[in-house]
Structure 1
Amino acid sequence: MDMASSDDMAMADLETGEEEEVLRRLGTAEEAGLTDNEAARRLRLHGPNVVVLSHHHEGSMLQRFLMALFSLWGWDHVFPKYNNMVRIILNSMSWVTVLTTIAITSAGQRPCELAIVVFIVATSLIACFIAKLVLEYAKAPLEAKAHSPRAKVLRDGRWRDVHAANLVPGDIIFLKVGDIVPANARVLRFQKIDTMTCWAKRSVDCAHDFLIYYAWTVSCGQGTAVVIATGRGIPRSTLRLYPQRYARPGQLKEGVMLAACFCASLVLVGTIAEIVLSFLLQKQNCTGMPLNAHFMPLIGGIPMAMPVFLYLALAWGSVRLCFLGIASRGTVALEDLASVDVILFNMTGTLTCNQPCFVRDKIEMFADGVSKDHAIILAARASRSQHELYIEPIDAAILRLLDDPEQARFGVQVLEHHACFFVALKLMFQTTYIDEGNGSKCCVFKGDPTKVAHQCGCSKEVKEKISTLMDELTLDGYQAIAVGHQVDSCWEFIALMPYTDDLRSDSADVVDSLIDLGLDIRVLTESPLSTTKQVCGKLGKLGTNVVPAHSVFELARNNIEVHSNINGISDLFPEDKSDVVRRLRNFGCHCAMVGYEFLDHDAIGESHIGISVADATDYTKSESDLVLTQHALMPVSSAVQISRKICQMMRSFTIFTVSSTVHLFGVRAILYLLWHFDLSSILAFMIAACNYCTSFAMLFERVELNKSPDRWRVQKIITSGAAFGSYIVLTTAIFYWVASTANPFACKFKPISLMGSDEEIRAALFLQMSTINQAIALFVHSDGCCIIRFPGPVVTFSFVVSQMVATQKVVHGDLNYALTKGIGCVRAGLIWLYNLVLLLTLVLV
């Protein structure tokens, strides 16, 4: 207790003490930082700067057990969404029933059934474990590249980029807008940016001696701070999670959860009904019942494959994303990208390279007696110095126009820098300085031409000329900034400096590809209307229907037709982007936002799927579901295609699973209630094993790409599966009725018929049910209006092999599989013919 108390007091002294005293106590200097040897010693002393949060799962032992079970497949984020414990228990029923059956079969000395159950469970767990290892191996380097926290730290008088885990108390770090604070620190020097003029919702006052804490975000400005606590030394009262929004269930997990609940409900109802009816109608005693009445619980082995199949499908998709250079945290984007209707792109830095290039010959001069070279020098004075740790792209482009960047500060004494946003993250800089040549106090201003013209008090004619020139430059693909100069309280408009910001090499291709996939594309930008139209015109099939922001917000909020025809929105303020996304969501659209700047994070937060490009800010990446690690946009289109393929695959599998469960449930119930015919439990085991083979084969099946957004309608999927299941239940019931009551071939052949003993009927039923049940996987499909298709080669091969084995067992009989008497080749052929006619009828109808 005394040691903890002394640590708290020491931390309080570092937080409240004078700057010089704090630096002295930490043994560091603002100009040089720590030495490498001292940093290494402190790293051994304090440990790595890694924050580990201990999660205490509350609830009963059953809840904790189910939570651990769900986490095996990555379903732990779905668990809190289902507060109703009944639904969770129902979903876990398949596991519980199968494990119970292991004990029953062991007691009943049925090693074959036990071996099948162990095989199914072990295969599932091994497949999930291997998939998890492969996925972690593939994702590790991308995670490190996209999400690994980095820090710019001063060591031995030099700034260097290190992993945030290597920070120690006393390090001097540099922070800029969009960075996530890697440790508790105290601000030393910070350049504030005035954002109140254009963004009233966000203003952060990072003043001298201001305390900043782990996982805070720098929302404006840049500067230095000294680290006062790292890793386990960070007080829990100041600890916050790194921002993230990907820990939520996607549409596939929710859909599979509901479908599994439906199947498990059938299993539960059937199990209870089987026990009750067996006791009431047949007067069986309770002791003999567990060994005879456990067919229904064994059906639970079929829906048990659903979470396994989903995990393997998502793992396969995640590995494909890794090959594309996309880092994903969680599976939400992989599940929900298929349902996206609209993709919004921030123009600057996303569709364009955000690498301005000025053209000296295009500079338009407005001031008499000022050369272009001098105008460039004035613009460079209104930019960040080359010696600063971070320079805005537009400032770097201006400095590149100078033969020697030192010219910008030669012969002047800078008094003050003042900055504020005007377009994207390009800043308006106003620099106040003293001209050492004549001793006059001057001010130079660089930024939006309209604002500079207003600041300089230009006449109406000059403003019209500026507007005309801007329009002409836009037609040629140029944007422009203006430079203003003040001497002795007299402002003068100096020059208009055009520049280009080229599109990424694949921007037009990715837009065309997404449009071909049935997606609507929106370009969001703070740039002027004419510039936005020019850019949209270069983006392949995208139109040029661009409207300014104020016109969009004047439209009726329920006018979806007007909004759906818009290709781009210009003149946006940062908070307007999130409002655009919010409106689209209110129209029922599923939106994805591709962002780059710190100011995009609100729009990413409002969208269903957030995507960041490779050079986005740390905070934007932390808010995104997908992060591109390569300087290309085409992986976005590939990710959409992968997501749609997984959705189609899961829809086919879910329909197949629901139909199989309904089939076995319905056949058991009808035969038991109408004819008091008792099916052998080996039937459920064998069909479950065959379905597992088919399920894994469906993972490798080639899926036809859907050319429109694909949303999971779980009710329709369950209805389709139940309809298929009901159809084959009816066919099996008719088959049993014919096999047990008629002998249609007796008059033409020797006594060859399906009419026979109970053992023969059981064998015939097994073949008919196994064939028709598994054949559903050959025809279920995932297109919106049609769910029938011809099978692919992988599923067909799996079906043929498994059913040939089943047919061989039925023809000759096998005591190990409770088939005491075979039915012969002719009867087996008649069963195949019967099922073939039924399936062709299903396809044709």
Structure 2
Amino acid sequence: MNTLQEKPYTGMRVREEKTTGSKALQPGKQYPWHSMTPGEVMKLLHVTPEAGLTDEAVAKRRELYGRNIMTKTKQQSAFVRFMLQFHQPLIYILLAATVVTILLEEYTDAIVIFAVVFVNAIIGYVQESKALEAIDALAKSMTARAQVIRNGQKQDINAQELVPGDIVFVQSGDKFPADVRMVHERDLKVDESALTGESVAVEKNAAPVAPDDVLGDRLSMGFSSTMVTYGHGRGVVVATGDNTEVGKIQQSISRAQDLETPLTRKIKEFSHLLLWVILGLSAVVFAVGLLRGEGIGETFMMAVALAVGSIPEGLPVAVTIMLALGVSKMAARRDIIRKLVAVETLGSTNVICSDKTGTLTENQMTVQQIVAGGKTYTLTGLGYRPEGEILDGESQADLTSNHALKQCLKAGMLCNDSNVKEKEGLWTIEGDPTEGAMVVAFRKADFDVRELEHKQPRQDTIPFESEYQYMATLHGGNRPVIYFKGSVEAVLERCNMAMQANGELSQLDKEEINRQVEEMASEGLRVLACAMAEAPEGTKDITHEHTKSGLIFLGLQGMIDPPRQEAIEAVKLCQKAGIDVKMITGDHAITAAAIATQIGLKGRQENGKLVAITGRELQQIGDRELEEVAEQTSVFARVSPDQKLRLVKALQARNRVVAMTGDGVNDGPALKQANIGIAMGITGTEVAKEASDMVLTDDNFSSIEGAVEEGRSVFDNLTKFIVWTLPTNLGEGLIILVAVILGTQLPVQPVQILWINMSTAVLLGLTLAFEPKEPGIMDRPPRPTGEPILTRDLIMRTLLVGSLIMMAGFSLYLYEIKQGASTAEAKTVATTVIVVMEAFYLLSCRSLVRPILQIGFFTNPWVYYGIAAMFFFQALFIYLPLLNTMFHSSPLDAMQLLRIFGAGVMLLLIVSTEKTIRFRILTRKAGTSA
């Protein structure tokens, strides 16, 4: 029998098993592996790096921890998810309309209405299914194979068979198969951008780090799914499957809430209200009819007619089509929308949380400053395109007058393994981005690269090693020369002399150099130092002994991933539109704050500089306090995936509509939690794309600003449609209600109401989807989250127009009856006057605020095409015998048509007068406040 004992170790209670060590760890318990020494980790895991685990220990641990795979959370069945698409108040109304039209034996209309409901359900189901693919994409990110030591032998195994305690090997090109505590490494660099957001490869080191270091600073760890870009190493598996950092992200994605968008929430609230109003009015009509002694069947049909008249059958069709048009417009602007409602959500956004690298910046390291020969130079031009100037103040630098500058540029060029190339108009780097930036800097000096390499060919190299922090190259020519570049510390400790502008040497002032380095670093620049030394005649190779001392300091090159110029302008436009922009990045705080300042972000400052909150500081902040911090701060650096999620939730707790950008696995939970998740199309992982609502095909922040503008326009046009269609439904309902109260025949029959609602919604209402953006659309603040679709002014206008339609329809019906017209003629007049008044009202609805004379008559020709088409089909309704039979209509004479069009003109004049008065009041208020 195995004997278990409790043993304290580094402050933790650990269960150990004396025989096989199969229960060395408590599953689910968190251990600070990164802060332990390799020896402590090995002891805790009961393994040695030379022998690895035995087969017996592996079997027991696999039984305890499971396989190295991420479990899928249990999802609702496909049938349940499909049926839930019908669980919406607006859909209830449409289903009721379907039943009503079946009772009226209008089967064609019933099929059309139900088809709309069914298509909407299919679209919603497909979109939801795609979102659930995010977890599958995460599961696929696990490495297929792994090199391990077991039973003292090196083996190649399926990565799913790994268990905690396995000794694994990784080298350039490999993905880490699990979370690994490094035991030994040799120049190991790992691309962790997908997990941490770090813009450059991270150098790993087996030495312990501080316990409270955030994910991006845990240099002693290799994380599952991150890629080795250079070197090799050996480590011990400390977490597998769901317990890895990427596994925790998967769980966060599955727990993230699918939030209602502002549009779906407002439509739901509007539909609930409309549902109860329709049911209430129908009940009133039924009760009044019974009290007046009408038969139950006739009274029921009156109530049905009122319900049919009040239901806006065209609303869901309009919503879907308008959103789809918004999607197509955004696609032309490089924005791919994965969920239709995301179009409108963009228009409601009041906070954008953006990643830094590649979104706000070029994702191309660029030398921006050189200090050499006692002078500081600035370099123009962005990215890898070798175009720009080296400036001495405001004028172009004279390279012939500063030998130190010339040699500093040559050192950056020759002591370099990278190159820049142009392909199809795009300049790219082959090699390390930092080295590539120095190649571009040299080419901006208009030196001939081939001539230099011909005159001073490379003969030998000391490659960069993390242990030494430098690279050196030997070049032949008239006199052998060693060029040297590396960290400032590595260069300064090997230099005593510095080259001056005139080429002479002087004593190196290390304090002054360090001061300049601090100044450059405070601006977010990554600084490398350059040096040189003349080698003895006949030198053919070099070793570390040649570079141990006696080097000549040449200068400093400071580089940064610069902000996109278009992003700077886009941030200004967003801020002008009342949208806060916040940077959430895995990069370092100083760099993040410097870029944020250049871009123009606004937030809490200290000593005139933006304050960047780090992930380590966020760990100490409680959820309630975090709400205030998230509101006031604009830069968050070195944050972990969980912290990104916390920040999004903190902003949402303040009723903020949050758009979140991201490209990595680490962004998945926050993208899914945000009101709208925006993934990068070029650099984005599949996990990020599947968890998002929108994908930027150009990874450019300015595309987000354009999408917000388009989203606002879509919501404006949707509101215009609602403001246009509701008075019709209100007018139709009032006509029936008044008829019931007065005890007269219905001026319009249910089947005629269906004709009005369906034909006008398609031919008239949908033309508003093509309405151009309102002037100053990005000058106004975002809509308050609690604001209903219809404001008080719009409700008053709806009541006004609905009343005018009721009075015109009912009075013309009674007038025709009094003039001796047939019932069919009178009902045809009432039906047609509603259609014509809708057409005239459509002209006014092209703007919610501006009077018709200020809209521009020909900015949306589709309105006139729609009106012409509607009048054509209404003529068929009036004069075509087949439609006369189907809809109980009758031909009309010229005088009847004249009276009908007179009612339409009257409505347009009244509404235009009302809008003009309100517009003048708004303009006066705006001028007073300004």
Please confirm whether the aligned pair reaches a TM-score higher than 0.5, indicating the same fold.
Answer: yes
1:256-306 CA distances to partner (integer Å, 9 max, x unpaired)? 222222222222223322333322322424x56555642123236x43433
| AA of the residue aligned to 2:308 | L
Structure 2 Cα separation of the partners of residues 405 and 281 of structure 1: 108
Structure 2 Cα separation of the partners of residues 506 and 125 of structure 1: 43
Report matched runs for 1:183-332 at 5 Å: 240=251, 242=253, 245=256, 247-285=258-296, 290=300, 293-299=303-309, 302-326=311-335, 328-331=337-340
Structure 1 Cα separation of the partners of residues 309 and 92 of structure 2: 10
C-alpha displacement of 1:250: 0.9
Q: Name the stretch that deviates more: 814-823 or 666-675.
A: 814-823
Gaps of 5+ in 2: 1-21, 28-44, 59-67, 149-156, 185-203, 227-231, 375-406, 417-429, 443-456, 472-484, 494-508, 532-543, 545-550, 618-623, 915-930
Which of residues 480, 491, 498 in structure 1 aligns to 2:527? 480
1:122 pairs with 2:115: yes
Secondary structure of the corresponding residue to residue 350 of structure 1 = coil
Alpha-carbon spacing, 1:759–1:321, altered in 2? closer, same or farther (3 Å): closer
Structure 2 Cα separation of the partners of residues 193 and 156 of structure 1: 19
1:68 pairs with 2:78: no
Query: What residue number does 2:102 align with?
Result: 103
Alpha-carbon spacing, 1:396–1:810, altered in 2? closer, same or farther (3 Å): closer
Alpha-carbon spacing, 1:691–1:147, altered in 2? closer, same or farther (3 Å): farther
Check conservation: 2:370, 2:557, Cα contact below 8 A: no
Check conservation: 1:528, 1:571, Cα contact below 8 A: yes
Which of residues 836, 844, 855 in structure 2 aligns to 1:779? 844
| AA of the residue aligned to 1:356 | M
Query: What residue number does 2:609 align with?
Result: 548
Alpha-carbon spacing, 1:391–1:193, altered in 2? closer, same or farther (3 Å): farther
1:681 pairs with 2:701: no
Report matched runs for 1:65-464 at 5 Å: 68-71=82-85, 88=88, 90-106=89-105, 113-122=106-115, 125=118, 150=141, 169=160, 240=251, 242=253, 245=256, 247-285=258-296, 290=300, 293-299=303-309, 302-326=311-335, 328-331=337-340, 333-343=342-352, 345-357=354-366, 362=371, 394=434, 407-408=462-463
Gaps of 5+ in 1: 1-10, 28-47, 59-63, 73-78, 80-87, 107-112, 158-165, 216-220, 366-370, 381-389, 418-428, 432-444, 454-460, 486-491, 744-751
1:831 pairs with 2:900: yes
Report matched runs for 1:615-694 at 5 Å: 615=683, 625-678=693-746, 679-693=748-762, 694=764
Query: What residue number does 2:514 align with?
Result: 466
Check conservation: 1:354, 1:393, Cα contact below 8 A: no
Report matched runs for 1:718-797 at 5 Å: 719=792, 722-735=795-808, 738-739=811-812, 756-781=821-846, 783=848, 792-797=860-865
Alpha-carbon spacing, 1:338–1:541, altered in 2? closer, same or farther (3 Å): same
Query: What residue number does 1:425 align with?
Result: none
| AA of the residue aligned to 1:94 | I
Secondary structure of the corresponding residue to residue 462 of structure 2 = helix
Check conservation: 1:195, 1:203, Cα contact below 8 A: no
1:335-374 CA distances to partner (integer Å, 9 max, x unpaired)? 3221234545554443333443569974799xxxxx9899
Q: Name the stretch that deviates more: 142-151 or 655-664.
A: 142-151
Which of residues 899, 909, 912 in structure 2 aligns to 1:840? 909
Structure 1 Cα separation of the partners of residues 234 and 606 of structure 2: 41
Check conservation: 1:314, 1:334, Cα contact below 8 A: yes
C-alpha displacement of 1:167: 8.0
Query: What residue number does 2:778 align with?
Result: 707
Check conservation: 1:351, 1:504, Cα contact below 8 A: yes
| AA of the residue aligned to 2:90 | N
| AA of the residue aligned to 2:878 | V
Alpha-carbon spacing, 1:195–1:118, altered in 2? closer, same or farther (3 Å): farther
Check conservation: 1:728, 1:772, Cα contact below 8 A: no
Alpha-carbon spacing, 1:173–1:698, altered in 2? closer, same or farther (3 Å): farther
> Structure 2-normalised TM-score?
0.57
Q: Kindly, what percent of the aligned residue pairs are identical? A: 15
Secondary structure of the corresponding residue to residue 104 of structure 2 = helix
C-alpha displacement of 1:510: 4.0
Secondary structure of the corresponding residue to residue 715 of structure 1 = coil
Structure 1 Cα separation of the partners of residues 819 and 765 of structure 2: 31
Which of residues 62, 75, 99 in structure 2 aligns to 1:55? 75
Structure 2 Cα separation of the partners of residues 309 and 192 of structure 1: 59
Check conservation: 1:344, 1:524, Cα contact below 8 A: yes
Secondary structure of the corresponding residue to residue 639 of structure 1 = helix
Alpha-carbon spacing, 1:121–1:523, altered in 2? closer, same or farther (3 Å): closer
Q: Name the stretch that deviates more: 676-685 or 626-635.
A: 626-635
Check conservation: 2:142, 2:224, Cα contact below 8 A: no
Structure 1 Cα separation of the partners of residues 276 and 488 of structure 2: 65
> Structure 1-normalised TM-score?
0.62
C-alpha displacement of 1:102: 3.9
Secondary structure of the corresponding residue to residue 558 of structure 2 = strand
Alpha-carbon spacing, 1:769–1:548, altered in 2? closer, same or farther (3 Å): same
| AA of the residue aligned to 1:684 | I
| AA of the residue aligned to 2:75 | H
Alpha-carbon spacing, 1:95–1:324, altered in 2? closer, same or farther (3 Å): same
Q: Name the stretch that deviates more: 272-281 or 806-815.
A: 806-815
| AA of the residue aligned to 2:514 | I
Structure 2 Cα separation of the partners of residues 510 and 405 of structure 1: 48
| AA of the residue aligned to 1:55 | Q
Check conservation: 2:354, 2:584, Cα contact below 8 A: yes
C-alpha displacement of 1:115: 2.1
Query: What residue number does 1:37 align with?
Result: none
C-alpha displacement of 1:93: 3.1
Count of aligned pairs: 691
1:61-80 CA distances to partner (integer Å, 9 max, x unpaired)? xxx88x635537xxxxxx6x
Structure 2 Cα separation of the partners of residues 651 and 238 of structure 1: 38
Structure 1 Cα separation of the partners of residues 900 and 729 of structure 2: 21
Query: What residue number does 1:810 align with?
Result: 878
